[in-house]
Amino acid sequence: MSKLLTVSPSPHVHSSDSTQKIMYRVIYAMVPALIWSVFMFGIDALRVTLIAVAACVAFEYLIQKYLMKVTPSVTDGSAIITGILLAFNVPSSLPWWIILIGAMAAMGIGKLSFGGLGSNIFNPALVGRVFLLLSFPVQMTSWPGIKMAAVDAVSTATPLALIKESVKNGIPIAKVQGLPDLTDLAIGMNAGSLGEVSALLLVLGGIYMIWKKVITWHIPVSILATVFVFSGIFWGINPEMYVNPAFHIMTGGLMLGAIFMATDMVTSPMNPKAQIIYGIGIGLITISIRMFGAYPEGISFAILIMNAVTPLLNYYIKPKRFGGQ
């Protein structure tokens, strides 16, 4: 035997899964929604996505190489996910330089300032999104009309913004003009940011990820159930002033948030019990912001707030131990 024998501690075999594979599965899961957004908003959607992905990858590479002086880890695919998610969270009409700023905030502040993949507390894409929302409120809420609609409106309000406005003015929901019906919402025939429009395709991506064991059902289901129940209570009390729960679930990026952003592995809790509490928290905060806050929708803030709670949940909520307490 020419070579030396290797000695290592057990186990001596390893599953074929790798971090890279997991990341690419997330990307595959987002492809249907991405295609639909191109279909809806035209080539602009693709432009935004490509700029965001390229910028995120480039920023990660540059910051790691020249500021942090470590070996860049862009090949793991996580920067691509952040890029796509960031693009999913902005309107298709967003100028390129704002996307660059968003990507810089996402990668620089949201991820690498904490030490890179695995160390960040907040979901990088959401950090970028909220950064842009607070810095460029006008551009971030000018929603281009959908290409498929007969009337090519320059700017439309999102369904939730319409409702917020009407509630503020005391107009009953039933009289609000221009609200899409539930079927439109499910398919994605409404205004909004790239990735939030088609609830059905997002669910499809979610099912793929659960099937491939990238995520578990706990977080998305608990968020959706909480939103449904909580908004349902209000709707039951006063259907005049509150929209029905199904509407809440299908609008304002809730699906996108519940399936793709709240489930981000790095920033979500690590055991099923804690994940359900985390999901319930996101659901409650989202609806509270939507109903009582200044913003028409609140899933981004809700996820960021619960991201901050995640270490506490990990500390206090323990998985079911074998052999009881």
Partner 1 sequence: MSITVVYTIVTLAVIGATAAVILYFVAQKFKVVEDPRIDDVEGSLPGANCGGCGFAGCRAFAEACVKASDLGDLNCPVGGNDTMGQVATILGLEAVAKDPRVAFIRCNGTCDHRPKTSQFDGATTCAIASSVYSGESDCQFGCLGYGDCYDACEFDAIDLRAGMGVPLVLDDKCVACGACVDACPKDLIELRKRMPKDRKVVVACRNMDKGAVAKKACSVACIGCSKCFKECPFDAITMENNLAFIDSDKCKLCRKCVPVCPTNAIIELNFPPRKVKPEVEVETNS
Partner 2 sequence: MLKTFKIGGVHPPENKLSKDRKIEVLSIPSAVFIPVAQHIGAPSTPVVKKGDKVKVGQVIAQSSSFVSTNIHSSVSGTVKKVDFSADSSGYPKQGIFIDVEGDEWMEDIDRSETLVKDISVDGAEIVKKIQECGIVGLGGATFPTHVKLVPPKGMKAEVLLINGVECEPYLTSDHRLMLEKADEILVGIQLLMKAMNVDKAVIGIENNKPDAIQLLSEKCKSVAGVSVVALKVQYPQGGEKQLINAVTGREVPSGALPIAVGAVVSNVGTAFAVYEAIQKNKPLFERVVTVTGKGVSKPSNFLVRVGTATSELVAAAGGLPENTGKIISGGPMMGRAISSLDIPVTKGTSGILLMKEEESKREEIIACIRCSRCVSVCPMGLEPYLLMTLGEKQIYDRAESERVMDCIECGSCSYTCPSNRPLLDYIRFGKGKVGQIIRSRKK
Q: Whole-number minimum distance, CB 58 to partner 2, in Å?
A: 20
Q: Which residues are CB-contacts of 283 (< 8 A; sequence separation ≥ 6)?
A: 222, 223, 224, 225, 226, 227, 230, 302
Q: Which is nearer to partner 2, 190 or 267 (CB)?
A: 267
Tell me the one-letter amino acid at 288: S
Report d(CA 325, CA 311) in Å as an integer: 22
Binding partner at 294 among partner 1, partner 2, none, C-beta below 5 to 8 Å by kind:
none
Under the binding rule (CB under 8 A), the answer on residue 69 touching partner 2 is no
Q: For the purposes of burial, counting CB atoms within 10 Å of the CB of 139, is it exposed (0-12), middle (13-18) or buried (19 or more)?
A: middle
Window 259-298: contact mask with partner 2 (x via CB under 8 A)? ------xxxxxxxx--------------------------
Residue 223 CA, chain-centre distance (Å), reads 12
Is the separation of the CB atoms in 305 and 257 below 8 Å?
no
Q: Which is nearer to partner 2, 175 or 321 (CB)?
A: 321
Of 22, 81, 127, 291, the one binding partner 2 by CB under 8 A: 22
Q: Which residues are CB-contacts of 305 (< 8 A; sequence separation ≥ 6)?
A: 281, 285
Interhelix angle 43-62/19-41, nearest 10 degrees: 150
Q: Whole-number minimum distance, CB 49 to partner 2, in Å?
A: 23
Give the count of residues interacting with partner 2 (CB under 8 A).
Answer: 43
Tell me the one-letter amino acid at 72: P
Closest CA to 62 of 70, 82, 76: 70
Of 24, 61, 72, 73, the one binding partner 2 by CB under 8 A: 73
Binding partner at 270 among partner 2, partner 1, none, C-beta below 5 to 8 Å by kind:
partner 2
Is the separation of the CB atoms in 87 and 37 below 8 Å?
no
Q: Whole-number minimum distance, CB 9 to partner 1, in Å?
A: 5
Structure tokens at 73: 């880890």
Q: Whole-number minimum distance, CB 271 to partner 1, in Å?
A: 24
Q: Whole-number minimum distance, CB 10 to partner 1, in Å?
A: 9
- Could you say which residues in the range 9-28 bind partner 1, by CB under 8 A? 9
DSSP SS3 for 156 = strand
Catalog residues that contact partner 2 under the rule CB under 8 A.
1, 3, 5-15, 17-19, 21-22, 73, 76, 78, 116-119, 216, 265-272, 314, 318-325
Residues at the site binding partner 1, with contacts judged by CB under 8 A: 4-9
